[in-house]
Amino acid sequence: MREPPVVARDGSLFDPNKEQERVRIRKTLHRIDEVSFEVSGVDAPFLNALRRVLLAEVPTMAIEYVTVNENSTVMNDEFLAHRLGLVPVLADPRRFEFRRESDEPSAQNTICFRLRVPPVNRKAHPEWNLSDGAVFAGDDAVPSIPVYSDDIIWEQLQTRVGESCLSSTEGASPHRSSSDAQQQAEATDGLASAADSTAAVEPVQVQRGILLTKMLRGQRLDIRMEAVKGLGHDHAKWSPVATAYYKMVPRVHLKGELKGELAETIRGACAVHVFDIEESAGTLKVEDESRCTLCGECVRILEDKPQLLDSERPDNYSKFMQPMETDLRKVYENDFVSVCQQTDRFVFFIESVGQYRADVLFGEALAIFHSKCTKILEALQNE
């Protein structure tokens, strides 16, 4: 029943002027974190390339190096480090450079974060100020305290001394004994002196409200993180999109006026409510064909009910024969319903994770694909 996938719409030669007229884009959803738009006149291979670029080749910042100074929670270091890596770092990646193995960390290629629980400023966190009595009151009263990504705090990058600043600067300082006030002063002093003086670096946030782990009173976490720029094909944490996908525009046609049990059956078969019943006339209508997922259930359900097929075949069946559109491909069809795809129109969906505004992502992908082609073109130029 299915035809082979469409590789090229036709064998037409590429002509930029014709293409300019043919390509149409219509916006259907425009939000800060999600866009969708309808594209016509562009073929699937090109859109697929863009989709792949969006998923794997648009750079973002993500936590890559994690130094665990202290972790007495039940979650082991590796697990925690992995979870930290997946927290979106809400920095504009275009302001940063890639950091290669040989590069020194700098404000241009690295963002530093620190996670310290219990927090230095305990007054703002009442859950850490309970007396022992309150905590161990009942039988089951050993409450675990959730640690959210809200506690990940941006730090200015400290210049590395020797092998690793991460362990050397803080590893020795005794958190446990010193008072909170002292700790804070110590920390800020250290930062100010070592701060990169060249850049007035803006603080960076991570996505808030993500549960990292749970811990009990008396347990401690002290973790330093470095976020670097990377690509989604190395690890999904660097992917800027939650999803990016396209589909051919689905078209659902009814081939006649359908009433009664048949209409009810077809309406009920659809899980995404493509169909509805016209209240006044009691006939089936297509409510919203764009919801269709091409499951084909509306066609398949009648195979199990031959009595419906015989009794209610519409008399005016032939009148409603749809006009044949050239770019329409039938996916499912019976005497009452046909489900088609329009092969030259696509809906493209992009959901941003948060590093980029959703509406700039497509442009970024285009630019990256463009430079990919240019780079090879240059390499071939002298051949």
Partner 1 sequence: MTSAAAGNHSPHSGDASLELDGKDVHIQENADRTELVLTLRGEGHTLGNALRYMLTREPGVQQVGYTIPHPSEDCLKLYVVSKPGSRALDSVKLALFHLTQLCDIVGEKYEEAFMKT
Nearer to partner 1, 246 or 336 (CB): 246
SS3 percent helix, strand, coil of the chain, rounded to 5, is 30, 25, 40
> Is 5 a residue that touches partner 1 (CB under 8 A)?
no
Count of other CB atoms within 10 angstroms of residue 190: 16
- Distances, alpha carbon 24 to alpha carbons 18, 43, 94, in Å: 12, 12, 28
CA distance 236 to 311: 54
**Smallest distance, partner 1 to C-beta of residue 58, A:** 12
Give the residue with the Cβ less far from partner 1, 37 or 356: 37
The burial of 259, by beta-carbon neighbours within 10 Å (0-12 exposed, 13-18 middle, 19 or more buried), is given as: middle
Q: Which is nearer to partner 1, 324 or 380 (CB)?
A: 380
Tell me which stretch binds partner 1 (CB under 8 A): 104-112, 244-252, 331-339, 364-372: 364-372
Among 1, 141, 324, 377, binds partner 1 (CB under 8 A): 377
Of the ranges 62-70, 106-114, 145-153, 362-370, which one interacts with partner 1 (CB under 8 A)?
A: 362-370
Other C-beta atoms closer than 10 Å to the C-beta of 197 total 7
- 300 versus 375: smaller Cβ distance to partner 1: 375
Does 200 engage in binding with partner 1 (CB under 8 A)? no
- Is residue 231 close enough to count as binding partner 1 by CB under 8 A? no
The region of 170-178, 187-195, 318-326, 370-378 touching partner 1 under the rule CB under 8 A is: 370-378
Nearer to partner 1, 181 or 367 (CB): 367
Candidates 1, 4, 20, 324; binder of partner 1 (CB under 8 A) is 20
Measure the CA–CA gap between 55 and 239, rounded to whole angstroms: 6
What mask of x and - would describe binding to partner 1 in positions 30 to 69, judged by CB under 8 A? x----x-x-x--xx-xx-xx--xx--xx------------
* Nearest distance, CB of residue 38 and partner 1, angstroms: 9
Closest CA to 343 of 10, 17, 91: 10
Q: Which stretch binds partner 1 (CB under 8 A): 3-11, 78-86, 122-130, 191-199?
A: 3-11
Q: Does 248 bind partner 1 (CB under 8 A)?
A: no
Q: Does 309 bind partner 1 (CB under 8 A)?
A: no
Size of the site for partner 1 (CB under 8 A): 44
Three-class DSSP category at 325: coil
Measured between alpha carbons, how far is 197 from 203 in angstroms, rounded to an integer? 15
DSSP H stretches of helix in 66-179:
77-85, 132-135, 165-170
Tell me the angle at which helices 358-380 and 44-56 cross, rounded to the nearest 10 degrees.
110
Using CB under 8 A as the binding rule, whether residue 94 contacts partner 1 is answered as no
Least separation, in Å, of the C-beta of 40 and partner 1? Answer: 10
**If we measure between CA atoms, which residue out of 50, 37, 17, 4 comes closest to residue 345?**
37
CA-nearest of 220, 239, 221, 211 to 113 is 221
Would you say 38 or 287 has its CB closer to partner 1? 38
* β-pair partners for 351: 34, 243
Q: What is d(CA 59, CA 95) in angstroms, rounded to the nearest whole number?
A: 11
Check residue 8 for interaction with partner 1 (CB under 8 A): yes
* CB-nearer residue toward partner 1: 113 or 362: 362
Structure-token match 């590893």, residue found:
171
With contact defined as beta carbons under 8 Å apart, do 316 and 257 qualify? yes
Distance CA 196, CA 335 (A): 73
Which lies closer to partner 1 via its Cβ, residue 76 or residue 374? Answer: 374
376 sits near partner 1 (criterion: CB under 8 A):
yes
Closest CA relative to residue 211, chosen from 113, 128, 352, 117: 117
Of 1, 13, 141, 200, the one binding partner 1 (CB under 8 A) is 13
Tell whether residue 362 is a contact of partner 1 (CB under 8 A): yes
182 is an interface residue for partner 1 by CB under 8 A = no
Binding positions for partner 1, rule: CB under 8 A: 7-8, 11-14, 16, 19-20, 23-27, 30, 35, 37, 39, 42-43, 45-46, 48-49, 52-53, 56-57, 359, 362-363, 366-367, 369-370, 372-374, 376-377, 379-381, 383
